Structure formats: structure tokens, C-alpha cells
Amino acid sequence: MRIVWSKKLLLWLLLAALMVTALTLGLVFGLKNRDTLYISGAVVSNGIGCAAVGGEMLTDGGSAVDAAIATLLCEGLLLPHSMGIGGGFVATIYTRSSRKVETVIARESAPAAAHKDMFVGETSITGAKSGAVPGEILGYWEMHRRYGILPWKRLFEPSIKLAREGHVVSRYLAAAIQSKLDNIKADPGLSAVFLNATGDPHLEGDYMKRPALADTLERIAENGAKEFYDGGETGRKFVEDIQKMGGIITEQDLRDYTVRWESDGHVSAHVSGTYTLYSTPMPSSGPVLAFILNLMADLYTDNEPIYWQRVVEAFKHAYGQRTNLGDMYADPVSAASINATLEEMLKPEFLESVRKLIHDNSTSEDYLYYGANFTVEEDHGTAHMNVLATNGDAVSITSTINNYFGSKVASTQTGIILNDEMDDFSTPGVINGFGVPASPANYIYPGKRPMSSMSPCIIVDQEGNVRLLVGAAGGTRITTSVAAVIMKYLLRKESLTAAVNNGRLHHQLAPMRVSYEQEVDSSVTDYLKQVGHEMYEEPVGSSFAAVTAIGALEQPEPFYDRRRIGSALTLAKTNKMQH
């Protein structure tokens, strides 16, 4: 029996060996042409369904910039209260093959007839007069000329279809309509879009069409940026409508508008010894974000309460420096002082002197202690999106029309909602509620762009691989929110979900208090209170900035904030098996 069993065992072992050999040969020879799929690209957007529009462009062979433009056009329809072609944007672009970084400043600029005293004595800044010269379309056009692969018209097709055939009103848009209903009813252009046939506001789930904007997008798709900026029908109609409502934008302002590119002037910061951050220069808050991260580079500790005390103090010093910043490229009066502040902020010696002012067991309520003599106007609603293409190229863009529905007026002939970026400038003689005067660095000047909290950034490792794209929407809390997510994800090694969704802290110097969400650990808030900070717990549902990010420490992971709606898409790349 033993001999028979041994023979059977040997026979089974021989058969098993033959099967393994056959399988191995099959994998090597029979399956050698199979492809493996892995996630290598991603798009994330604040607009529901807009990430899919960007992904469609990448799938069709388009570039990261193609995908970004198509996504933003979609966001202008799905998030018309936050951004659109009547606004402006700032962008950071990264090319993986060359490791080249370029930034685009297509932020709105003051019209030629604007002056620093134009809003003195006015209690609110709204209406057509509050509109600055839009930069959105020219910014898209120039990015496409430099980085586009697909035809310009192709990028517009999904959004023209949405505008013509209609889209579902989201919960977020319905709430925005309700919050500004009086303004909407007061303006014919907005009423035509956001009220239904019976004169009632569109509700969540309603279907909304924008035929006038569809016509406008078709003309721009056919004729390029000149359709708006250089004597085209759209530009003429837009100016005609805005001037009838009291605006000061002229066709010459449109012709004179320029997009600013920076190849060497982008902002960078070291995030630990491994990662480098790239972001946009003035008048965005890229320099403010870089200042926070550079300050914190030597202040890391595993002690959670002490770490966040240091972060809060870094926020306060950063916002103190921010009060002395503005658009130095179009302000002959303040340019020298703005440039001096910017240069000082980047010096290692200055950073070290500021670190010595940060203490673990005390704080100050003196604005001068943090380098501030003035205040800067708050900015408001925005939208942010990121694209990571399968070839490693990346684009991070934040776009805005400022407050909800911008200036609260729309051009009836074009369907374009006008921004209210003039509200982002400071006005002489205005003392804010905290007794701090307005900032001369941010006074109105023709052609000048107002200071902004927008700070779209791309972070790469030492090999040049993109590891994080991040930006946010939500006014002055953008910069601290982006900084917090970067520190949590890359330094404190939290997951991207936790880094974006967990509770946040914010301090912008004025008001002199720490705002925090209820999810922040009580050990941190109790310690900050013990140190001497005034603490303010934000009501549930209040507007902390909404972050959108793509983490890529491993495979790309697009993620949008629980604080706002959005959409995310990943792309698989085919890779031939190597043998």
C-alpha cells in the first residue's frame, strides 16, 4: 500500500508541476500582449459632473490645460454664483518632462476710469460700478495657445450643450439663489436665469437653461478671445449692458486687458526636506501661503496642542504681512513698499526673527506685534479645480466673481454675470470694525488687480513627481485651509480624507480670535484658550473654505471637501507588461 500511495503521490506532483509550467509559459508567451491598468491621472472640481468633462478631454488626447479649461467652463454653469466668464482666475501649471513651472494671473483689473476715492462714503459696493474688467476668457485663450492640444472649439462643446439643453439645480446653487433672492429679483439679467416662468426661484432638482450664455459661448468658441476683447459682438453687447446699468467698463478696457505670465516669478516654499511647493505670485496669496509653510518648517512637534499653537501664531504673522501686500505691477505709488515687504518675507533671516516671536505658552493682541498697520478687504466666493494628467503634467486653478452672483447684475444680451472685484480693493478713510484703517497697498488704481486669498498650488518631490495639488474656495480662509491640509497630509501623515475633512482652525488677525470647527479636538482648543486666545466656535454649517485636492503619494486620489459639493474622476493608464 505504501508503494502504491507513493506512486500516486509522485504522479500528482508531476501533474502539478506540469500545470505550473504551462501557466508560467502562458503568462510569458500567451499573455505577453495584455496590458495592465493603473490609476495615473485625476480631475477634481467644485461642480457636480464637471470633473467628468475634464476627464473626457484627457481621454480624447487633450492636455492638462485642455481639461482644466473645459472643467472651468462647466463650473461657470454649475456654480454661476461663484465663478464664470465674467470673472477672473489665477493658475499654477507644471510640466513634468521639463519640471517647468508657470503661473497665470488672469485676475480682474480696475477700469481706466477707476480711482481710489470712487467708493468713499458708500456703505456697500455692488451693482455694475463694482465690476472690474474680466480676465477669464483671455486667460483660457492664452493658456490654450501655449499648452492646448485639442481644438479650442472642442473645449466649449460640453458647456454649450449644458447651457442650451439645461442642467439640474444643485442643493448648493438653490441655497445661493435663496440667499440673494432680493438681488436676483431686482436685476432683469439675473431674473431671466434664476427665476422660473412663474417668477419663483429655481429650487433643488429644477432644470435650468441659459440660452443667452449658450449663444455667447458659441461665438467665443468660433472666434476666440477677440470675440470678447477686441471688437467682437459679445464684447460690444456686454459693455453696452454694463454701461446702461451704471458701470464704467469700456470696450477700450477690454482691449487693454492683459494676462500676466510668470516663469521665474512663481512662489516656492520647502515643505520639509522632501517636497517643494509652487504657487501663484502677487496679488494672489501664494506668498502668504509660502510664508506660513516656511515659518513652520522648523517648528514641527508631535505635541498636538503645541503644534497648533505654533500654527495659529504663524497664521497671525502671515496675515500681518498680508496687510502690506498688493498688486505692485500696476501701482506706481505703493509698488516699492509692496516689493520691499515681499522680499523681506522670503529672507531666511526675517523668517528666523519671526520664529523667535512665536511662543508655546503665550500670544499677543497687538496688531503691530504681527507687523500689521492696516487691514485688507475680505474676498469671498470662489471655485477651485485640479487636473493631474497621465503624463504627470498638472494644473491647479482658482477662479472667482467675488461675492455670490458678483455685482448682482448680469448682461441680458450675453448672459454673463459681472464680477464685483472692485469690492476687493481698500477705500481711503474706511476704518473697519476692529479699528484698523484701510491698506494703501490695496487702494484702487487703473489697471490694478485687487489683493486675493486665492493660492492654487502644486507640490512635487525631489524627483519632480507631483505629490499634491490643492486649492480652496472661501475667501480669506482659503490660505489657512490650504496650509492646514498641506501640513496634515505631508507632515503629519494624515490620509487625504482626514486632512481635508477634519476640523480646522483659522486666525486672520482681525478679528483677534481663533475661529474653529466643533470637530477640532478639545485638547487643542482648551490649550489655545489657556495660552490666551479668544476662541470662537463656528456654527455648524458655517463657511470654512472648501478644499479640493489630488493627493499622489501613491496612486492619484482626487478629493473634494465635505463642506461643499463637487465631483472627482480618476483615469487609468495602460502599461505594457515588461518581460
Asked if residue 174 belongs to a domain, the reply is no
Q: Which of 126, 234, 375, 382 is catalytic?
A: 382
pTM of the entire predicted model: 0.90
Which carries the bigger pLDDT value, residue 316 or residue 439? 316
Q: Which burial class, exposed, middle or buried, applies to 491 when counting CB atoms under 10 A from its CB (0-12, 13-18, 19+)?
A: middle
Residue 34: the pLDDT is 40
Question: By three-state DSSP, how is residue 522 classified?
Answer: helix
Asked if residue 480 belongs to a domain, the reply is yes
Asked if residue 364 belongs to a domain, the reply is no
Asked if residue 7 belongs to a domain, the reply is no
Residue 211: the pLDDT is 97
Residue 387 backbone phi and psi in degrees, to 5: -130, 130
Asked if residue 142 belongs to a domain, the reply is yes
Give me 535's grid cell: 476662541
- pLDDT per residue over 64-104, tens digit each? 999 999 999 999 999 999 999 999 999 999 999 999 999 99
Asked if residue 279 belongs to a domain, the reply is no
Indicate the pLDDT class of residue 483, thresholds 50, 70 and 90.
very high
Give me 130's grid cell: 463694482
Reported in sequence order, the residue ranges of 280-388 that DSSP labels E, i.e. its strands, are 382-388
Asked if residue 321 belongs to a domain, the reply is no
Residue 380: the pLDDT is 63
Calculate the alpha carbon distances from 226 to 222, 256, 502 in Å. 10, 12, 45
Cα 489 from chain centre: 18
Question: By three-state DSSP, how is residue 548 classified?
Answer: strand
Question: Contact at 8 Å (CB) between 310 and 357?
Answer: no
- Give the residue from 282, 281, 284, 240 showing the smallest Cα distance to 418: 240
- pLDDT per residue over 212-223, tens digit each? 999 999 999 999
DSSP code per residue over 197-266: TTSPBP-TT-EE--HHHHHHHHHHHHH-THHHHSS-HHHHHHHHHHHHTT----HHHHHH--PEEESS--
Does 413 score more than 90 pLDDT?
yes
Residues forming the annotated binding site? 107, 400-402, 424, 452-453, 475
Number of domains in the chain: 1
Question: Contact at 8 Å (CB) between 488 and 293?
Answer: no
Asked if residue 362 belongs to a domain, the reply is no
Full domain range(s) for residue 74: 39-166+209-267+374-576
Residue 3: the pLDDT is 37
Residues forming the annotated binding site for L-glutamate? 107, 400-402, 424, 452-453, 475
- CA terminus-to-terminus distance, the chain: 46
Strand partners, 90: 105, 398
- pLDDT per residue over 160-211, tens digit each? 999 999 999 999 999 999 999 999 999 999 999 999 999 999 999 999 999 9
Q: Which amino acid is at 154?
A: R
Residue 382 catalytic? yes
Q: Residue 537: which CATH number?
A: 3.60.20.40
Q: What is the mean pLDDT of the chain?
A: 90
List CB contacts of 463: < 8 A, sequence separation 6 or more: none
DSSP code per residue over 374-407: SB------EEEEEEE-TTS-EEEEEEE-SSTTTT
Residue 29: the pLDDT is 39
Residue 133: the pLDDT is 99
Rounded-to-integer distance, Cα 440 and Cα 435, Å: 16
